[in-house]
Structure 1
Amino acid sequence: MKIRPDQLHNHLQQGIAPVYLLSGDEPQQLLECGDTIRHSAHSHGYDERQVMEAATHFDWDILAAEAASLSLFAQRRILELRIPSGKPGREGAKAITDYLASPQEDTLLLIILPKVEKNQQKTKWFTTIEKSGVVIQVWPVKAAEMPRWIQNRAQHHGLQLTRESIQFLAQQTEGNLMAADQEIEKLRITHGVGNITLQEVAASASGSAHFTIFELMDAALSAQTARALKMIRTLKVEGTPAPVVLWSVAREVRLAASVAEALSRREPPAAVFKRQKPPVWQSRQQLLTSGARRLPLQGWYRLIKKLAEVDQAIKSSGDPWIVMEEILLGMRGA
């Protein structure tokens, strides 16, 4: 059967299924669902855990061998099968269906993989898991759903955030659940449980270069060059490591260049954003598209070469901040 992530806790209170499949491209929810299953299994006596990584050239006979082997340390155990490609292939599909034809009573099979496409969901191995166990698919949280997710997570940590605080965090983290969870945990450690004001949330966020750097690149992409230069100089004065700033600058420049390449081929920018891992937040797609149009393709290529100069300056005695300012200036176009 299929259940949603928010139904998992109640499901596990009714007992452990012989097989669970977790799939999706949202790492925070995938991690938490896996941890919830492992914790519940441990409370039911599944004290041993064997992890198998089904990468390229994986020997699928190992699954049957592990299932047939006797545990030396525990009566019950978890076999955790990770499939990074999201597709087990012909041999893997057969190995999974063969295992589920006669699953071991003392063994829980936990399969973790990226998003399973619709055509894969119609295959025998997937439908067999649906019939024999539980399938949980996780999806990125949409912009409209992000405030509620933040509110629920804050309440889980014993925090009460104002509506303005929730909106502020939702805007700053842009669908990144892991970043939002880290900020909430930081607030709990700093202020303890109870009510948290917008001022406290903003002060906590301003102490993290993650947010300021994103604001920096938004200013550069929207041709607010003076503001972008002021921000990067502030980051330098505050002691933000140059490699941290370079990471964000390089990511945005390369992404904008990819959009510019797509535009030169008359390919819709949406195709570029769809290929990104993690995906580009919807609210930033228009900003990146308009920013990419501001320079000809060769201009973006020149800025990519500049990124190598920044990296070299960091590794030597040069000044990477000057070169990064040149990149920001170059992003404004003609």
Structure 2
Amino acid sequence: MKLDYLQALKRVDDAQGAWVLHGQEPLLEQNLLDAFRKSWNSREVERQRYDISSASDWKNVFNALNSLSLFSNQLAIEAHGNIKPDASALKLLKSYLQHNESNLLLIVMPKQDSSSLKTSFFQTIDANGVNVALTANYPKDRQQILAVEAQKLGIQLANDAWQWLEQHHEHNLLAAKNSLMRVADTYPEADIIQIDHLYACLQDQSRYTTYDLNDAMLQGNLAQSIKIFQYLIASGEPMSLILWSISKEMRLLMQLFEQPQNALQLGIWKTKIGLYQQALRRLNANEFLTWPALLLRLDASIKGLGHENPEHLVQQAIASLCGRRLF
């Protein structure tokens, strides 16, 4: 079964079997993950997370799904990565889908190209599970998604204000949501948000975003990258969002290194291809080998696991993306 983002949100509480979320819209991914985790917590569903770095990791996932804890009746497993099950793991997936009636396997992947969506794995999910593409390709789709975010904030926008917001952010849903939060805080008494409200609130803002951080890192500008990071932290940007942004750039650079002719298929904007190519020429490919472990340490530190300072680890990751070392 194929669902879009809004359809998926409505079915979170009833989800079971295997779901795949794939795309490059951080707002949609984070919202759905938050909805799932909230639902699991309210129903006392046991949750586990696995990061898939090799095909053999899938065996651990299916072993866990088939060995429920004595202290829980249901299990939800998040599997994050871009490595699909191989032939042996695909058999385990099919067996799980046929015999497991209550657990949920939630697979979170980056954007998939058309050839990937035709593989046996996705055919199995389409036939027996749920396939959710985290995309918003049309203005109507983006406005519907942002209208839900505006409703959460208790605000309404005039029709032309929606058009102005989309043009201002060039289809960037996450940045648009941040702007909705800002205008809601700035004009709490406004019945309808007009273009004048948005313009006054946003046009003269020199506020940095994670996208400014990404550009600075790709340019190799360490001083500017650290400055933007410190600004984001001071302004309350969630550390998990900063991690997502850094990990996305690392993943794209590693993929582009292996597939230099497939920049557009990997989801890199045409206007940004040169920036990524310059970054690859500047970076040492051996450094890529250290990135997965660094991201895992950073993810653990943000969740309060271990004793490392997440801000220090973020600065290490930023420096590595810039082709530099802090220590």
Please give the range of the TM-score, normalised by the shorter of the 2 chains.
0.5 to 0.7
2:16 partner SS = coil
Paired residue for 1:155?
151
CA distance, structure 2, for counterparts of residue 58 and residue 190 of structure 1: 51
The structure with more radius of gyration: 1
TM-score normalised per structure 2? 0.58
Tell me, which stretches of 5 or more residues in structure 1 are unaligned? 218-239, 246-270, 293-300, 306-334
Q: Is 1:39 aligned with 2:63?
A: no
C-alpha contact (below 8 Å) 1:18/1:108 kept by paired residues: yes
Give deviations 1:273-298, integer Å, cap 9, x for gaps: 72575535xxxx5xx89xx9xxxxxx
Q: Deviations over 1:74-132 (max 9, x none)?
A: 222211111234x33444434423432422x4421111112334444344332332333
Spell out the pairing of 1:161-310 with structure 2 (5 A cutoff). 161-192=157-188, 194-205=191-202, 206-210=204-208, 243-244=227-228, 274=264, 277-279=267-269
1:75 match: 73
Q: Check the 8 A contact 2:18/2:125 in 1, yes or no.
A: yes
Q: Distance in 2 between matches of 1:124 and 1:241?
A: 41
Contact 2:18-2:129 at 8 Å conserved across structures: yes
Q: Distance in 2 between matches of 1:120 and 1:272?
A: 13
Q: Is the CA contact (8 Å cut-off) linking 2:4 and 2:134 kept in structure 1?
A: yes
Q: State whether residues 187 and 201 of structure 1, in contact with CA within 8 Å, keep that contact through their aligned partners in structure 2.
A: yes
CA RMSD in angstroms comes to 3.7
Tell me the secondary structure at the aligned position of residue 174 of structure 2.
helix
Aligned residues: 234
Aligned residue for 1:159, secondary structure, equals: coil
Any idea what SS the aligned residue of 2:192 has? strand
Aligned to 2:59: 61
**SS state at 1:195 partner:** coil
Q: Is the 8 A contact 1:20 1:109 kept in 2?
A: yes
Q: Paired residue for 1:325?
A: none
Choose the corresponding residue for 1:50, options 48, 64, 69. 48
Instruction: Describe the SS at the equivalent of 1:168.
Output: helix
Identity of aligned residues (%): 25
| Native 8 Å contact 2:6 2:145 kept in 1 | no
The answer as to 2:9 corresponding to 1:2 is: no
Distance 1:125 1:277 in 2: 21
Equivalent position of 2:324 in the other structure: none
SS at match of 1:78: strand
For residues 78 and 242 of structure 1, the distance between their equivalents in structure 2, rounded to whole angstroms, comes to 37
Query: 1:227-285 CA distances to partner (integer Å, 9 max, x unpaired)?
Result: xxxxxxxxxxxxx999549xxxxxxxxxxxxxxxxxxxxxxxxx8872575535xxxx5
Report the 3-state secondary structure (helix = DSSP H, G, I; strand = E; otherwise coil) of the residue aligned with 1:196.
Answer: coil
